Amino acid sequence: MSFSRRWFLAGTSALAITVLSPISAALPANARTEINLLSPAEASSAAQSGQWKILDVRPVPPLDYISGHLPNAVHLSEQAFRGPNGKLPFQIWPAGDLANLLSRAGISNRDKVLVYSDGTNVLGASLVAYILEKSGVSKVGILDGGFSAYKASGAPVTKVFPSYRFGTFKPTTTPGLAIGLQELLPLVGRPDVVIVDPRPKGLFEGTEQTFIRNGHIPGAINITWQSVTEANNPDEALKNPHKLKSVEALRKLFASHGVTPEKTVIVSCSTGREASLQYIVLKHLLGYPNVRIYEGSWTEYSATQHPVQTGPGASAVKN
């Protein structure tokens, strides 16, 4: 029986990690969040149980949602959760704005929330799951395999838009999940800290000229986000970028590149979106105790004068 199945069906407490790193504040007990994968069958039960709020976060325009979605799913595009903050073009909205957004989607602080997207937009599902954790939601599920796997399983799909009451979500920010630039800088190069960069090879190595400066934070390890999914499964029938590899395969992948549980792990990408997937894998699926996201990521770092490294870096994963 999978880890997520035990958590969903048996109601046992899934892994909830308190950050205890010397570089981060300990999370208060009531701020702990469980994030787990739900199979299509589990997601179908959740959607029809009345005990979960369902968020379809597929990008706008919402034609995919209109043409079919999980029962009782509310469409709230992943793009709605971020925007300009006066310094950077695309960052997570402040707690007050997020609270208003979630309330309008019918969500309150104590609700359990199931999130899904489809295909490569698994990154949107993981980003929203991370934002829900940051906002203090205690139980979050991600539909493993996305909408395509759900539909292929024969689970119920509807075109009916749900009627619901607005929620009452109070602004909350859980400390210790994100790390800012000034806190990050003195950690670069420390042997007990590893920086994981899940961007594509060209962006990581600096061959693609996208940003003000191109490359990566010195010493970072390139483990692309696709490498934790079935995006490149050699069996064409099993290819699915919204489905994660087994826990055993994921553990082996990260350990083989020196990303081990005793280290503080900082995940940095382009805007924080790609980083969210590996953050969830490392912290919630593998149980690494000290994992944080650099939300500013390369968008912020590239605009500074701090050192940049180009080339393959410390370790590269072949996709």
Query: Per the structure block, which two tokens stand in for 110?
Result: 């104590």
Q: What does the alpha-carbon distance between residue 124 and residue 89 come to, in Å, rounded to a whole number?
A: 17
Same domain, 244 and 105: no
- Assess whether pLDDT exceeds 50 at residue 1: no
**Sign, Cα dihedral of 113, 117, 119, 125:** negative
Pair (16, 112) in one structural domain: yes
Provide the number of structural domains found in the chain: 2
169 inside domain: no
Based on the residue annotation, tell me whether 292 is a catalytic residue of this protein. no
Name the band, by pLDDT with cuts 50, 70 and 90, for residue 313. Answer: confident
* Whether residues 146 and 16 fall in one domain: yes
Same domain, 9 and 124: yes
Q: 298 pLDDT exceeds 90?
A: yes
Residue 31 covered by a domain:
yes
pLDDT above 90 coverage of the chain, percent: 88
Cα distance between residue 73 and residue 116, in whole Å: 10
In angstroms, the CA 224 to CA 126 distance is 15
Please report whether residue 313 resides in a domain. Answer: no
> Are 91 and 196 part of one and the same domain?
no
Least confident of 30-34, 78-82, 146-150, 191-195: 30-34
> 3-state DSSP call for residue 293?
strand
Residue 133 covered by a domain: yes
Do 124 and 226 lie in one domain? The reply is: no
Residues 9 and 62 in one domain: yes
Q: Domain for residue 273, yes or no?
A: yes
Q: What is the pLDDT of residue 2?
A: 36
The C-alpha atoms of residue 109 and residue 175 are separated, in whole angstroms, by 16
User: Does residue 29 share a domain with residue 108?
Assistant: yes
In this predicted model, what pLDDT tens digit does every residue of 168-210 receive, in sequence order? Answer: 999 999 999 999 999 999 999 999 999 999 999 999 999 999 9
CATH code, domain with 117 = 3.40.250.10
My answer on whether 14 and 140 are in the same domain is yes
Q: Is residue 17 scored above 80 in pLDDT?
A: no
Whether 205 is in a domain gets the answer: yes
Question: How many helices and strands, by DSSP H and E, does the chain display?
Answer: 11, 13
61 preceded by a cis bond (ω within 30 of 0): yes
CB-based contacts of 131, cutoff 8 Å, min separation 6: 81, 92, 98
Q: Which of 269, 275, 280, 293 is catalytic?
A: 269
Question: Which of 114, 136, 152 delimits the end of a domain?
Answer: 152
Residue range of the domain that includes 276: 181-301
Residue 56: pLDDT over 80: yes
Residues 188 and 121 grouped into a single domain? no
Same domain? For 28 and 105 the reply is yes
From the centroid of its chain, how far is CA 236?
25
Radius of gyration of the chain (CA): 19
9 and 118 co-located in one domain: yes
Assess if residue 95 is contained within a domain. Answer: yes
What pLDDT is stored for residue 31 in this prediction? 54
- The answer to whether residue 227 is domain-embedded is yes
Give the rounded distance of the alpha carbon of 185 from its chain centre: 23
Full-model pTM: 0.89
> Of 152, 167, 199, which residue is a domain's last?
152
